[in-house]
Amino acid sequence: MNKTRQTVTVLFGGKSPEHWVSVKSGLFVLLHLDPSRYQARGVYFDQQGKPAPAATCRDAIATFFARNDVTFFGPGETPPTGDLCAWLQERAHPSGDTCLRDGGQGDWGLFLPVFHGQGGEDGSIQGFLEFLRLPYGGCNMEGSALGIDKILTKQFCEAAGLTVAPWAMVTNVTWAHDAQACLERCRPLGLPLFIKPARLGSSIGLHRVTRFEELASAIENALKWDSRILVEAQVPGIEYGIGVAGNQAHPRISAIAESTLRADSFDYDAKYSAGALDDIVPARLDETDTAKLQDFAVKVWRALDMRGIARIDCFLGPQGPVLNEVNTMPGLSAWAPFVMAWRHAGVRAPDLMDLVVREALERYHASPGKSAFNQCADSTSKCNT
């Protein structure tokens, strides 16, 4: 059999407010797809959500490196020789602006969307690729759509008998109709409260309310970001993040990351400013509590019909785990808690990328009605259909 590298096309950037977080994660993926096994290329989507040509992609990568000091490689990992920015710029494909318009007939191989937030992490691009019957990696369409919506996440997990943080919902319609009634529905949750846009990540639009007098303005501000708002009671204790990857039947579980924050609010600036987070991997838990959280993460994974990859964030209360939220495309860098948790479990970044690609190919080959023109196979051979 003629062996060749599997082509993987990484999609990153996009119109979400989390654009530059996506750029960071996309570059991480490009750097860690094993070049002996994968032919990796990047397609950058600009801040209007349009796939950009190579020159624009190169400019965006240069801008990212000029603005950020990010570590992409952990212990024992060797970066490519030469200038890292230039190496990544070479992966910008000159036909990037046509990659989703040619019916997949180009040699795009497997698509790997690495978007954060709406317009990419919400099932939209996943549904588009499924409509075209093209293979893609990362979280599946159903899991992405349910996982990005914090309200749907809670509803589905509660229906599955899983404990979630107490919550209430406010929409732009209910707020405009009777704001006072919305406020009264939130009062039984107590204080403090977290106000979150339902379908954004990276703590964008998040507010921590410690007085009910602050609640109305926090809701109004959050409604600028999303038409659906989650009002959530604060759960005391430490937050834990558990990585899950693979399929429904036998998902793999990472070590547990323990997160603490040197600030009163887990907003975007606090989360991404230097030295804001102390992430402890593995978490300071005994074997019993570790098993409880990992088992809980798998139950959430299955309740939301997830495949591919996700991070489950939860607390550990006296009665057991309490779900906070899920992240279907965790932020990626060498010292991101998600990456550290997998590394501690013996899964290095290239191994994690390999796991994601293999699961995606298995999912694609098991699906009915595969694209008749797409060239795709396992990680060691290419099948021309």
pLDDT tens per residue across span 136-182: 999 999 999 999 999 999 999 999 999 999 999 999 999 999 999 99
Question: Mean per-residue pLDDT for 188-196?
Answer: 96
**What fold does the segment set 147-163+236-328 form as a domain?**
D-amino Acid Aminotransferase; Chain A, domain 1 (3.30.470)
Q: What is the mean pLDDT of the chain?
A: 88
Checking if the pLDDT of 334 tops 90, the result is yes
Secondary structure of residue 351 in the 3-state scheme: helix
- pLDDT of residue 80 exceeding 80, the answer is yes
pLDDT for 266: 53
Whether 234 has a pLDDT exceeding 70, the answer reads yes
Return the pLDDT at 119. 84
pLDDT at 19 over 70: yes
Least reliable range by pLDDT among 81-85, 325-329, 370-374: 370-374
Out of 103-107, 214-218, 372-376, which region has the weakest mean confidence (pLDDT)? 372-376
Please answer whether residues 10 and 26 qualify as being in contact, where contact means their C-beta atoms are separated by less than 8 angstroms: yes
Domain ranges of the chain: 6-138+350-366, 147-163+236-328, 167-233
How far apart are alpha carbons 32 and 40 in whole angstroms?
9
- When pLDDT is averaged across residues 268-278 and rounded to a whole number, the result is 50
The CATH code of the domain at 6-138+350-366 is: 3.40.50.20
> At which residue do the structure tokens 């060498």 appear?
334
Cβ contact 7:108 at 8 Å: yes
How does residue 2 score in pLDDT terms, banded at 50, 70 and 90?
Answer: very low
pLDDT of residue 270 exceeding 90, the answer is no
Q: What is the per-residue pLDDT for 106?
A: 60
| Lookup: tokens for 46 | 């600009």
Q: What is the pLDDT of residue 99?
A: 54
DSSP 300-333: HHHHTT--EEEEEEEEEETTEEEEEEEESS---S
The DSSP 8-state label assigned to residue 248 in this structure reads S
Residue 379 has pLDDT above 70, yes or no: no
Cα distance between residue 108 and residue 104, in whole Å: 7
Higher pLDDT, 16 or 294: 294
The H-assigned helical ranges of the chain are: 19-32, 54-67, 84-89, 124-131, 141-148, 150-159, 172-177, 179-186, 215-222, 268-272, 287-303, 337-344, 349-366
What pLDDT, on a 0 to 100 scale, did the predictor assign at position 336?
93
Question: What kind of architecture, by CATH, is found in domain 167-233?
Answer: 2-Layer Sandwich (3.30)
pLDDT at residue 292 greater than cutoff 80: yes
119-128, 270-279, 280-289, 330-339: least confident range: 270-279
Q: Is the omega angle on the peptide bond into residue 135 within 30 degrees of 0, that is, cis?
A: no
Q: What is the mean pLDDT of residues 288-312?
A: 97
CB-based contacts of 363, cutoff 8 Å, min separation 6: 135, 140, 247, 307, 308
Q: What is the pLDDT of residue 380?
A: 34
Please give the pLDDT value at position 101: 52
Q: Is the peptide bond before 197 cis (omega within 30 degrees of 0)?
A: no
* 118 has pLDDT over 50: yes
311: its two tokens: 């991070």
Residue 80: asked if its preceding bond is cis (omega within 30°), the reply is: no
Q: Could you tell me if 328 and 148 are in contact, meaning their C-beta atoms sit under 8 angstroms apart?
A: yes
Other CB atoms within a 10 A radius of the CB of residue 76 amount to: 7
CA pair distance 373, 365, nearest whole angstrom: 14
**Does residue 4 register a pLDDT over 50?**
yes
Which of 45-59, 136-150, 197-211 is most confident? 136-150
Percent residues over pLDDT 70 in the chain: 86
pTM: 0.88
pLDDT average, residue stretch 105-112: 80
pLDDT-derived band of residue 130, with 50, 70 and 90 as boundaries?
very high
Q: Is the pLDDT of residue 71 over 90?
A: yes
The confidence score (pLDDT) of residue 3 equals 66
pLDDT, mean of residues 353-367: 94
CB-CB contact of 233 with 166 (8 Å):
yes
Strands 38-45, 6-13: pairing is: parallel
HSE on the CB side for 160, CA within 13 Å? 19
